[in-house]
Amino acid sequence: MLSTLYAAVTVVTDDTVPFDPNTVTPGIVGFLATFGVAVAVVLLIIDMVRRVRRVNLRQAVKEKLDAEEKLAADVKKANENDK
């Protein structure tokens, strides 16, 4: 069964190649495609760094506000206990 499948999938190739494999290049289209992908990756990295910085800044501000609220609550509680 596998030999029949292998025979059906096997492609007969011609030994004569109509071009020189050493001179075939992707050309300008390949260069532009690669350049476009590289530019897209750089822009995505820049965007990701901005977003991570924004999240870290928001977290730092939130922690600072929480600490201030806790301090204010502790001071209020201490003042109530003094009375």
Consecutive 10-residue runs of the chain (83 residues): their mean pLDDT? Answer: 66 64 84 97 98 97 96 89 74
Q: What domain range includes position 69?
A: 49-83
Residues for the chain: how many in total?
83
**pLDDT digit string (tens) for 11-22?**
555 566 677 777
Residues 68 and 76: their CA atoms lie apart, in Å, by 12
If you ran DSSP here, which 8-state letter would residue 2 be given?
H
The verdict on residue 69 lying in a domain is: yes
The verdict on residue 12 lying in a domain is: no
What total of structural domains would you count in the chain?
Answer: 1
The verdict on residue 61 lying in a domain is: yes
pTM: 0.57
The verdict on residue 4 lying in a domain is: no
The verdict on residue 63 lying in a domain is: yes
Q: Which residue has the tokens 């001071």?
A: 75
Write out the DSSP string of 24-67. ---HHHHHHHHHHHHHHHHHHHHHHHHHHHHHHHHHHHHHHHHH
The verdict on residue 22 lying in a domain is: no
The verdict on residue 71 lying in a domain is: yes
